[in-house]
Amino acid sequence: MYTYPHKDLVSVHQLSKYDVEEILKKAKEMEDIFRWKKVGTSLSWKIVATLFYEPSTRTRLSFESAAKRLGANVITVASGETSSLSKGESLEDNAIINAMYADIVVIRHPESGSAEITAKTIQKPVINAGDGWNEHPTQALLDTYTILKEKGRLDNLKIAMVWDLKYGRTTHSLAYLLSLFPEISFTFISPKELKMPEKVKKVLDERGISYRETNDYEDWLQQADVLYVTRIQKERFQDKDEYERLKNQFILTIQTLKNAKSDVTIMHPLPRVNEVDHEVDGLPNAAFFRQAENGVPIRMALLDLLLNK
């Protein structure tokens, strides 16, 4: 039986290809409980703390749903304003207190590196639910799970990532994670102001992964097996004029999809603003709502693996 080899999940860099495969296998097992064919009790008497110092719908609620499906109780901080962090308490002090009240801490915080600080401060397991514009490892796992379910494989895929690749933490974690699998190549499509950060490309270079960068939105579509669209991350812009100038530059419509493969899997971590037109929702290959649902079995698997060793 597989044992998760770390105390925490703060970065996808902690995961080997084998770890990813085992986590996805566990998520598949969890589908039966998720679909109410069984009752999950593996987290009975455990308390999961979900600390969300940034807005969230899917991530927090799917973690809480996952915890409850396995019999755990949940305590939550659903916004920065309701926590003592807003009174000036340090992340470290806050973490020590939270660890006293719960068996595992799930944290989302606007500072890059915040999950790592929390994990180093306390003995209890910590899961990064998004740290600034750095990483979002659980989203990358559910995205990978979605690709596996939609495409039936994780190798030999052409992945197009579109729009805010600079601030979109989900694209960073997903690029790292998919680069563990053979014959993956990427096209990064964005305005020049929102290009994939150098540190992500450096890792891809080290792993010998092929990628190209373009701002030609028509160019990418023809070859992509998976099209991963992101929203422009308004809250991370220092320069609001830059945001105003860039917003609305890209909108995916049925018309823009006309040159794409007919079975291109269309993904989006959500929330969408207006970058995917609602007319796309009805396509059989529009996978973004199924993708959001996949968050529950993935987070069930992670909570179970980190809490039951």
299: contact with ligand NCD by CB under 6 A: no
162: contact with ligand NCD by CB under 6 A: no
Pairing of strands 226-229, 104-109: unpaired
Q: Applying CB under 6 A, which of residues 26, 136, 166, 299 lies at the interface with ligand NCD?
A: 136
In the shown chain, the binding pattern of residues 55 to 94 toward ligand NCD, with x for contact by CB under 6 A and - for none, equals ---xx-----------------------------------
Residues in CB range of 124: below 8 A, 6 or more apart: 99, 102, 103, 104, 105
Choose between 53 and 185: whose C-beta lies nearer to ligand NCD: 53
Contact (Cβ atoms closer than 8 angstroms) between residue 188 and residue 230: no
In angstroms, give the least distance from the CB of 240 to ligand NCD.
18
Q: By C-alpha distance, which of 255, 262, 306, 293 is closest to 22? A: 306
In angstroms, give the least distance from the CB of 136 to ligand NCD.
5
Render the burial of 129-145: b for 16+ CB within 10 Å, e for the rest.
bbbbbbbbbbbbbbbbb
Alpha carbon distance 281, 231 (integer Å):
16
Q: Applying CB under 6 A, which of residues 94, 121, 139, 179 lies at the interface with ligand NCD?
A: 139
Strand partners, 198: none
28: contact with ligand NCD by CB under 6 A: no
Count CA within 13 A, CB hemisphere, residue 42: 18
Distances (CA, A) of 278 to 18, 154, 162, 217: 37, 28, 17, 19
Pairing of strands 73-77, 104-109: unpaired
In angstroms, give the least distance from the CB of 270 to ligand NCD.
5
173: contact with ligand NCD by CB under 6 A: no
Choose between 49 and 99: whose C-beta lies nearer to ligand NCD: 49
Q: Applying CB under 6 A, which of residues 270, 300, 305, 306 lies at the interface with ligand NCD?
A: 270
Question: Residue 225 is encoded by which pair of tokens?
Answer: 């097996």
Alpha carbon distance 124, 102 (integer Å):
8
Total binding residues for ligand NCD by CB under 6 A? Answer: 11
Choose between 137 and 269: whose C-beta lies nearer to ligand NCD: 269
170: contact with ligand NCD by CB under 6 A: yes
Q: Applying CB under 6 A, which of residues 269, 296, 302, 306 lies at the interface with ligand NCD?
A: 269
Choose between 118 and 139: whose C-beta lies nearer to ligand NCD: 139
137: contact with ligand NCD by CB under 6 A: no
169: contact with ligand NCD by CB under 6 A: yes
Could you tell me how far CA 126 lies from the centroid of its own chain? 16
User: Cβ-closest residue to ligand NCD?
Assistant: 269
Footprint on this chain of ligand NCD (rule: CB under 6 A): 58-59, 130, 136, 139, 169-170, 230-231, 269-270
